[in-house]
Amino acid sequence: MDMPQQKTRIAAVADIHVKETDHGKWVDLFRQASREADILLIGGDLTNTGDEGEAAVLKEEMKACSIPVVAVLGNHDHEKGRQKTIRQIIQSEQVHILDGEAIAIGNLGFAGIKGFGGGFDNYMLSMFGEAPMKAFVQEAVNDALSLDRALTRLDQQHENLRKIALLHYSPIQDTVKGEPEQIFPFLGSSRLAEPLIRRQVSVVFHGHAHTGTLEGRMGNDIRVFNVARPVLAKAGYPHPFYLLEI
């Protein structure tokens, strides 16, 4: 008789936008996540303006977290071009900030990338025209390729892992609905969806679209969650993070 697979409780949130004045503000969130979940995911915009001082505050607040943390950076973390420094400050043995990388924790594999814009489905921008437009599209292509490589490594190095993707930008249009349609191209890209579907991920978490929609679906019924803090609040979610057992 096959033994039932052990369930893992995941807490997921995005867009926490930590400020230098936030000393003590996030301790309760990290403590609550540690009590109610086995792993905490943070889908980008860890800092408010991409400043090292903000990253230092977050590092201190995270000492209240006793479970593994998997995170990606967001556009706010890139604002001042100090994203590598921010990553170095926050990352530790317990805090894993992924940028086209993957990590296995228990029976789950996590692949993470910030992602980029470019639009969705039939309205996705194409690699045509001026050099700046091509560069914009190429950024999304590069991140989709990085995501695919991370998922491939999980398949090659581990057996029977359920794969989870963590992004900042959305791979589908459904979870950005609620935002003005005019800015959809800056909220995500369908180019990110292709490797997620082909590599058969179990679930996807992202943020960035603060007035978007909590849940959508992609491909063969892959669940996609927009866990931006304002979205969770608007949906009346009872926790300061989304809680999913998998």
DSSP 180: -
- Residue 168 DSSP SS3: coil
DSSP symbols for 85-144: HHHHHH--SSEEE-SSEEEEETTEEEEE------B-GGG---S-SSHHHHHHHHHHHHHH
Look up residue 135 and give its amino acid. A
Confidence of residue 220 (pLDDT cuts 50, 70, 90): confident
Number of neighbours of residue 124 by Cβ within 10 angstroms: 16
Residue 3: per-residue pLDDT = 45
DSSP H/E element including 43: strand 39-43
DSSP H/E element including 245: strand 242-245
DSSP symbols for 192-236: GHHHHHHTT-SEEEE---TTS-SEEEETTTEEEEE-BHHHHHHTT
pLDDT tens-digit readout, 141-195: 999 999 999 999 999 988 889 999 999 999 999 999 999 999 999 999 999 999 9
Residue 158: per-residue pLDDT = 83
Task: Look up residue 92 and give its two tokens.
Answer: 């530790």
% of the chain residues with pLDDT over 70: 98
Confidence of residue 102 (pLDDT cuts 50, 70, 90): very high
DSSP H/E element including 70: strand 69-72
Alpha-carbon distance of 6 to 216, in angstroms, equals 26
- Residue reference for tokens 């091509």: 134
Average pLDDT over residues 52-74: 97
Average pLDDT over residues 201-229: 96
Q: Structural domains in the chain?
A: 9-245 (3.60.21.10)
Residue 1: per-residue pLDDT = 41
Residue 124: per-residue pLDDT = 93
Residue 5: per-residue pLDDT = 63
For 15, phi then psi, to 5°, come to 60, 55
